[in-house]
A and B are shown apart, each in its own frame.
Chain A
Amino acid sequence: MRKLFSGAEIVFKVLEHHKVEHIFGYPGGAVLPIYDELKNHKTIKHILARHEQGAGHAAEGYARSSGKPGVMLVTSGPGATNAVTALTDAYLDSVPIVCISGQVPTHLIGTDAFQEADTTGITRPCTKHNWLVKDVKDLARVIDLAFEVATTGRPGPVLVDIPKDIQFKKTEFVLKNKKKVNGKANGKVSISEIDKVISLMKKSSKPIFYTGGGVINSGPEASKLLRELVSLTGFPITSTLQGLGAYPGDDPLFLGMLGMHGTYEANNAMHDCDLMINIGARFDDRITGKVDEFSPKSKKIHVDIDPSSIGKNIKADLAIVSDVESFLKFLNKRFKEKNKDFLNSNKSNISKWWKDIDKWRQKKSLNFKNSKEVIKPQYAVQRLYELSKDKDTYITTEVGQHQMWAAQHYKFNKPNRWMTSGGLGTMGYGLPAAVGVQVANPGKLVIDIAGEASVLMTMQEMSTAVQYKLPIKIFILNNQYMGMVRQWQELLHEKNYSESYTAALPNFVKLAEAYGCVGIQAKKPDELDDKINEMINVDKPVIFDCLVDPMENCFPMIPSGKPHNQMLLGPQDEEEISDEGKTLV
């Protein structure tokens, strides 16, 4: 007779099969048999979070910084419902997560048993797919399939719900060759599509590359190929929030981030271009603004691995369903074959376009009025960048003004170095994400650029960082407000700052000490550099309380419902900018 394994053993056997080294989780009654089995699997290390949401964001940070799927393990009921925010976050930002949840024993399902929730029902809209395993014979196949679904095509979270009795039940362990998942993943690019792309590129006198998180998700090779393509063409390139790092942030061909808080040059170039080459971005509403007036004069090429992303918000003139890496490999090869020295021969064709762009650039839309008295948040990010750029630094963020300032002023030169919650906009993402990033990248500098409101949502994970000696740096731009909320209230709700001020903030330095890590506070611009260096050099988790100008707003911005060429550059031209913007176009 063949050897029999319990459901809990099978869980680990499949995790080992997929070379999982870390799981993020939190034990509880319905998942105890799996936790019991943990001790027998030395290659798998469990990171105990302080809340399942924290475990989920840590798994996300782990996945996004390593390219491997993040694995989380939670109990039934509240364990699973606490994971929902992180799963939804991963769903919107296409992060591969495999969540294993315990469930009450099968005979109690549907009886409102202790810690019972309809986990597959609750997580159905926020996962790519989920399974409730009611027969231990299905378990190995389902978990194996879960990894495939999470990591292929457009990546995303999946959940496997395992009732407690199934974790105990025994069966043989076999991993059969699985059937192909209904052909969800692959689009093959044809040579005629590639030639169409090239012909559009050659005809264009105002081209722009608009690239997104799909380039990062496709793997580091895709970023290399993107750099090659841009250098072959000399076309300007802009990136979404999620795509930062795919192309070097300090390169002259890079126009900076586009969108609601993107640069003046990126947004105007998007508006005025005659050819938009979208590679791995999804025309999110933070990018397009009013869709009727979005880039009215351009032909649009849209390359996306998810067919449903193409044409969802913006109609594409040429739609290509493909993984970014295989698309770029094909395109670059063909482009080089067909066009010798395109860069120089095409220079005059796009020189006028670059002149336009330089004119927009001269606006210096990221500029701000610095101060000697009070730390400006933009200045703090700039100093943090200057003092950490020579190290291979990983940045996570929370959500709000500080996130946008980080995106604007921190320049990324490599993919997988920038982890931020873009689609869902989850406050509290950055700290636990930093935990996961540090687990995946020991010895690297990991900084969470945070806001004091966001970071309080998941502050408990500092305890996780201390437990596993993860020297993450929580760099809080503390303005005492939910800054982005306050900014909207100032600009659009007659300065009625309804509930956006936090009246009783903790003493972050003492809080750091209470957690057993290091607390640092900076109040004045002239002490900032020394203190940032101190933060970087200490080999412990740090909470850095950077007191910044509480009334600073994040500019430039596209006011809601406006097209890209009507940006607000700063407080002074809040009213006039639309006309001024128009005359420039």
Chain B
Amino acid sequence: MKKSKSAYSEPGKFGKSENHIIVVWVDNEAGVLARVVGLFSGRGYNIESLTVAEVDKKKHISRITIVTSGTPEVIEQIKLQLKKLIPVHKVADFKRNDPKILFKELALFKVVSSKKNREKAIKVCKKYNSIIIDKSKNSFVIQVTALRRDIDKLIETLGSLGLVSTSRTGAVAMTRGSEIFK
């Protein structure tokens, strides 16, 4: 018998990891974000991006959107653990490729380069609802809203066109149609 030197069992088989977007409605109170984030770090779950803001001023409800990845079992645990937190009202979970869900992320790019490269840069951004929100002699700041993977691609493309600074919000999500998540 091969001896293990640990008082713990060895890891079993891991399932396939999936990308999910978890939306959490919480009371906007002191420490609530720390509770959510602490749960993720304490239990070893991933956070790819996290967006939070109050969405209901009267009831003080904030909406947190978290992009995460994990096996189906881990995703299930994330939801169940989140629901146990006292300030959490509801938790929604969407697969990244769910066609019924809209995902958007906003990014700001600052590009400093030659006129030719700046024009090229503006052109590649055009597809993504781009707006130039600041301009100077040799630079501009452009705002795009797109899917995460498109923004990833844009960053790559703009890299050779004088991209000097990137700021992105992380994904937000909403269901299509007249339905809302209850």
- Please report the C-alpha to C-alpha distance between residue A306 and residue B13 in the assembled complex, in whole angstroms: 25
Binary per-residue interface labels of chain A (525-540) against chain B in the complex, 1 for a CB within 8 Å, 0 otherwise: 0000000000000000
Contact B86 A184 (CB under 8 A): yes
Contact B8 A285 (CB under 8 A): yes
- Please report the C-alpha to C-alpha distance between residue A170 and residue B13 in the assembled complex, in whole angstroms: 59
Contact B86 A132 (CB under 8 A): no
Contact B9 A308 (CB under 8 A): no
A124 with B86, Cβ < 8 A, contacts A559-B4, A560-B8 known: no
From 278 to 335 in chain A, residues with beta carbon under 8 angstroms from any chain B beta carbon are: 285, 288-292, 306-308, 311-312, 315
> 13 extra interchain contacts, Cβ-Cβ under 8 A, other than A124-B35, A560-B7?
A120-B31, A124-B38, A128-B84, A129-B86, A149-B86, A182-B86, A184-B83, A184-B84, A291-B9, A308-B84, A560-B4, A560-B6, A561-B10
From 78 to 99 in chain B, residues with beta carbon under 8 angstroms from any chain A beta carbon are: 80-81, 83-89
Which residues on A sit within 8 Å (CB–CB) of B76?
Answer: 311
Which residues on A sit within 8 Å (CB–CB) of B77?
Answer: 308, 311-312
- Please report the C-alpha to C-alpha distance between residue A149 and residue B86 in the assembled complex, in whole angstroms: 8
From 157 to 193 in chain A, residues with beta carbon under 8 angstroms from any chain B beta carbon are: 181-182, 184
- Please report the C-alpha to C-alpha distance between residue A575 and residue B3 in the assembled complex, in whole angstroms: 10
CB of A125 within 8 A of chain B?
yes
Which residues on A sit within 8 Å (CB–CB) of B133?
Answer: none
Contact A578 B86 (CB under 8 A): no
Which residue of B has the minimal Cβ distance to A128?
A: B86
Contact A125 B42 (CB under 8 A): yes
Partner of A575, one of B1, B13, B80: B1
CB of A254 within 8 A of chain B?
no
CB of B180 within 8 A of chain A?
no
CB of B177 within 8 A of chain A?
no
Contact A492 B5 (CB under 8 A): yes
- Please report the C-alpha to C-alpha distance between residue A370 and residue B8 in the assembled complex, in whole angstroms: 30
From 129 to 156 in chain A, residues with beta carbon under 8 angstroms from any chain B beta carbon are: 129, 132, 149
CB of A488 within 8 A of chain B?
yes
The minimal Cβ–Cβ distance linking A243 to chain B, given in whole angstroms, is 21
Residue from B42, B80, B89 having most chain A Cβ neighbours under 10 A: B80
* 25 A-B residue pairings within 8 Å (CB atoms): A124-B31, A125-B38, A129-B86, A132-B30, A182-B86, A285-B8, A285-B9, A289-B9, A290-B9, A292-B13, A308-B80, A308-B81, A308-B84, A311-B73, A488-B7, A491-B3, A492-B4, A492-B5, A560-B6, A560-B8, A561-B6, A561-B9, A561-B10, A562-B1, A575-B1
Residue from A125, A291, A315, A561 having most chain B Cβ neighbours under 10 A: A561
Partner of B86, one of A125, A181, A315, A561: A181
Binary per-residue interface labels of chain A (541-577) against chain B in the complex, 1 for a CB within 8 Å, 0 otherwise: 0000000000000000001111000100000000100
Which residues on A sit within 8 Å (CB–CB) of B9?
Answer: 285, 288-291, 560-561
The minimal Cβ–Cβ distance linking A574 to chain B, given in whole angstroms, is 9
A307 with B80, Cβ < 8 A, contacts A125-B38, A492-B3 known: yes
- Please report the C-alpha to C-alpha distance between residue A129 and residue B34 in the assembled complex, in whole angstroms: 12
From 58 to 78 in chain A, residues with beta carbon under 8 angstroms from any chain B beta carbon are: none
Which residues on A sit within 8 Å (CB–CB) of B35?
Answer: 124
CB of A121 within 8 A of chain B?
yes
Which residues on A sit within 8 Å (CB–CB) of B5?
Answer: 492-493
Which residues on A sit within 8 Å (CB–CB) of B6?
Answer: 560-561
The minimal Cβ–Cβ distance linking B118 to chain A, given in whole angstroms, is 45
Which residue of B has the minimal Cβ distance to A149?
A: B86
4 A-B pairs with least C-beta separation: A308-B80, A292-B12, A129-B86, A561-B4
The minimal Cβ–Cβ distance linking B1 to chain A, given in whole angstroms, is 5
Which residues on B sit within 8 Å (CB–CB) of A290?
Answer: 9-10, 12
The minimal Cβ–Cβ distance linking B32 to chain A, given in whole angstroms, is 11
From 175 to 221 in chain A, residues with beta carbon under 8 angstroms from any chain B beta carbon are: 181-182, 184
Which residue of A has the minimal Cβ distance to B73?
A: A311
Which residue of A has the minimal Cβ distance to B74?
A: A312
Binary per-residue interface labels of chain B (1-23) against chain A in the complex, 1 for a CB within 8 Å, 0 otherwise: 10111111110110000000000
Which residues on A sit within 8 Å (CB–CB) of B84?
Answer: 128, 184, 306-308
Binary per-residue interface labels of chain B (26-38) against chain A in the complex, 1 for a CB within 8 Å, 0 otherwise: 0000110011001
Residues of A within 8 A of B (CB): 120-121, 124-125, 128-129, 132, 149, 181-182, 184, 285, 288-292, 306-308, 311-312, 315, 488, 491-493, 559-562, 566, 575, 578
Which residue of B has the minimal Cβ distance to A566?
A: B1
Which residues on A sit within 8 Å (CB–CB) of B34?
Answer: 121, 124
- Please report the C-alpha to C-alpha distance between residue A560 and residue B10 in the assembled complex, in whole angstroms: 8
Which residue of B has the minimal Cβ distance to A488?
A: B7
The minimal Cβ–Cβ distance linking A300 to chain B, given in whole angstroms, is 15
Which residues on B sit within 8 Å (CB–CB) of A181?
Answer: 86
The minimal Cβ–Cβ distance linking A560 to chain B, given in whole angstroms, is 5
- Please report the C-alpha to C-alpha distance between residue A181 and residue B87 in the assembled complex, in whole angstroms: 9
Which residues on B sit within 8 Å (CB–CB) of A308?
Answer: 77, 80-81, 83-84
Which residues on B sit within 8 Å (CB–CB) of A559?
Answer: 1, 3-4
Which residue of B has the minimal Cβ distance to A575?
A: B1
Which residues on A sit within 8 Å (CB–CB) of B38?
Answer: 124-125
Which residues on B sit within 8 Å (CB–CB) of A312?
Answer: 77, 80
Which residue of B has the minimal Cβ distance to A578?
A: B1
- Please report the C-alpha to C-alpha distance between residue A288 and residue B10 in the assembled complex, in whole angstroms: 12
- Please report the C-alpha to C-alpha distance between residue A289 and residue B3 in the assembled complex, in whole angstroms: 14
Contact B3 A307 (CB under 8 A): no
- Please report the C-alpha to C-alpha distance between residue A184 and residue B80 in the assembled complex, in whole angstroms: 11
Which residues on A sit within 8 Å (CB–CB) of B8?
Answer: 285, 560
Which residues on A sit within 8 Å (CB–CB) of B87?
Answer: 182
- Please report the C-alpha to C-alpha distance between residue A560 and residue B31 in the assembled complex, in whole angstroms: 39
- Please report the C-alpha to C-alpha distance between residue A559 and residue B89 in the assembled complex, in whole angstroms: 43
Which residue of B has the minimal Cβ distance to A289?
A: B9
Which residues on A sit within 8 Å (CB–CB) of B3?
Answer: 491-492, 559
Residue from B9, B12, B38, B81 having most chain A Cβ neighbours under 10 A: B9
Which residues on B sit within 8 Å (CB–CB) of A306?
Answer: 84
- Please report the C-alpha to C-alpha distance between residue A307 and residue B6 in the assembled complex, in whole angstroms: 30
Which residues on B sit within 8 Å (CB–CB) of A566?
Answer: 1
Contact B31 A307 (CB under 8 A): no
Which residues on B sit within 8 Å (CB–CB) of A149?
Answer: 86
Which residue of B has the minimal Cβ distance to A120?
A: B31
The minimal Cβ–Cβ distance linking A454 to chain B, given in whole angstroms, is 17
The minimal Cβ–Cβ distance linking B14 to chain A, given in whole angstroms, is 11
Which residues on B sit within 8 Å (CB–CB) of A121?
Answer: 31, 34
The minimal Cβ–Cβ distance linking A459 to chain B, given in whole angstroms, is 26
